[in-house]
Amino acid sequence: MKDFVYHQPTEVRFGRGRVREAGEIVARFGKKCLLVTVPEFPALAPLFARVKGILEEKGIAVAHFDGVIPNPTTDVVSAGALLARESGAEVVLGLGGGSSMDVAKAIAVEATHKGTCWDYLFFKKQPTAATLPVVAVTTTSGTGSHVTQVAVVTNPVERNKSALFNPILFPRVSIVDPELVVTAPKHVTATTGFDVFSHAFESYINPNGSPYTDLLALEAIHLVAANLPSAVRNGSDIEARTRMAWADTLGGLSIANAGVTLPHGIGMAMSGLYPHVAHGEALAAVYPAIMRYTYETSIVKFAAMGRLFDPALVRVGDAEAAKRSCEALDAFLRGIGLRMTLKDLRIPKDELKALAKASMILPDYKNHPRVATLDEILEILENSCRA
Ligand code: NAD
């Protein structure tokens, strides 16, 4: 068995109704809190008001930064960091999906360091212990950001989506309250749920994975296969929501220790160049072609994944199961309304080469079981233009 390190400092409070613990948790880190969310809208406004109330009950002064956007930009982080400094925030509470939690992490760095968060990307200067503590409350299932050391940010000038990556960014405490996810609309449920699968699967096939992350990843894939269709069909199915929230957490724990591969490399580049594309949509559009490009290099793992989506594959050998895992995933994507192409996502065909090049900026593609050349990525993108 291979040697490995597994590191996870985040205290996870998992369970229905546990958002009520936010005040007591935040108070551990200070009396002045920056609450970070998207702008209020009907589905989430009551939650924002409730959380403010929970914090204020514990004597915490709340400054509310409500400027988060999907695929959040460096400008958004700078506006939030300014408010953090002006309000003297001692702790940052990210309440929302991955975009809100990531902005909370990036603000925690920018508010306490020179320059902007973009100066602290994973390959640049690293943030110090001055970084504000972050508490995360997730409302999607999801990105796993509530248990990762990653903050994904887009620089709109460079049209580049990249990441801060440092252990200081692990949230100190995370609340995973499945009741907060029931308001997520069908498409958000499907795209974020597919992201959970992608995290788990890319950790599983990643050479940096370990017996520990394999265990987490396989359970996450099993939970997604069994529960995401129900959560998409009926958003108030709290049992399915709860199991997806657990799968999300497992996926996050897996990527925090094993990392992601080619689909995320392309997905990050796509949202960097085309911010209208949601993270989970980008992944859904390229997965079918990447599966077919890869399965022969990782037969046993693709077979194991395929059997979780299509139990009939237990009756065939690994090579056959691996091949048919591609069709099993196509059917799953169709079932959750995500069998889409790059054309559906309005990616201009004459820009595919630029997208292929951008997909090689982050090192994730190098951890794919079959390391793609520029031409191979271009071919994957061309194949992703048709269903
Ligand atoms: P998101 O946070 O962008 O939210 C998507 C939409 O859903 C938003 O409009 C939001 O307002 C809405 N929403 C969220 N929760 C809701 C709820 N309960 N009810 C109703 N509406 C709700 O989406 P996301 O997929 O959670 O996050 C995506 C971002 O996270 C991307 O930038 C992605 O790159 C990043 N990401 C980060 C990590 C990490 O480890 N830090 C991992 C994967 C992805």
Q: Are strands 134-138 and 61-65 parallel, antiparallel or unpaired?
A: unpaired
Q: Report how far residue 80's alpha carbon sits from residue 100's, in angstroms, rounded to the nearest whole number.
A: 11
CB 270 within 8 A of CB 212: no
Q: Report how far residue 159's alpha carbon sits from residue 275's, in angstroms, rounded to the nearest whole number.
A: 9
Output the residue whose Cα is nearest ligand 1's atom 42. 143
Q: Are strands 150-155 and 160-165 parallel, antiparallel or unpaired?
A: antiparallel
Q: Report how far residue 108's alpha carbon sits from residue 131's, in angstroms, rounded to the nearest whole number.
A: 5
> What was the pLDDT predicted at 103?
99
Question: What single string gives the DSSP state of each residue in 56-97?
Answer: HHTT-EEEEE----SS-BHHHHHHHHHHHHHTT-SEEEEEES
Ligand 1 atom closest to Cα of residue 161: 34
**Is the minimum distance from the CB of 139 to ligand 1 under 6 angstroms?**
yes
The single residue listed with the structure tokens 């995500």 is 338
**Is the minimum distance from the CB of 71 to ligand 1 under 6 angstroms?**
yes
Going residue by residue through the chain (387 aa), what tens digit of pLDDT does each one get? 999 999 999 999 999 999 999 999 999 999 999 999 999 999 999 999 999 999 999 999 999 999 999 999 999 999 999 999 999 999 999 999 999 999 999 999 999 999 999 999 999 999 999 999 999 999 999 999 999 999 999 999 999 999 999 999 999 999 999 999 999 999 999 999 999 999 999 999 999 999 999 999 999 999 999 999 999 999 999 999 999 999 999 999 999 999 999 999 999 999 999 999 999 999 999 999 999 999 999 999 999 999 999 999 999 999 999 999 999 999 999 999 999 999 999 999 999 999 999 999 999 999 999 999 999 999 999 999 987
Helix (H, G, I), strand (E, B) or coil at 173: strand
Output the residue whose Cα is nearest ligand 1's atom 17. 184
Q: How far is the CA of 4 from the centre of ligand 1 (A)?
A: 30
Q: pTM for the whole thing?
A: 0.98
Q: Report how far residue 81's alpha carbon sits from residue 87's, in angstroms, rounded to the nearest whole number.
A: 10
Q: How far is the CA of 189 from the centre of ligand 1 (A)?
A: 10
**Is the minimum distance from the CB of 102 to ligand 1 under 6 angstroms?**
yes
**Is the minimum distance from the CB of 241 to ligand 1 under 6 angstroms?**
no
Q: Report how far residue 136's alpha carbon sits from residue 100's, in angstroms, rounded to the nearest whole number.
A: 9
Q: Side-chain half-sphere of 107: how many Cα atoms within 13 Å?
A: 41
Beta bridge partners, 94, equal 36, 136
Q: Report how far residue 44's alpha carbon sits from residue 37's, in angstroms, rounded to the nearest whole number.
A: 10
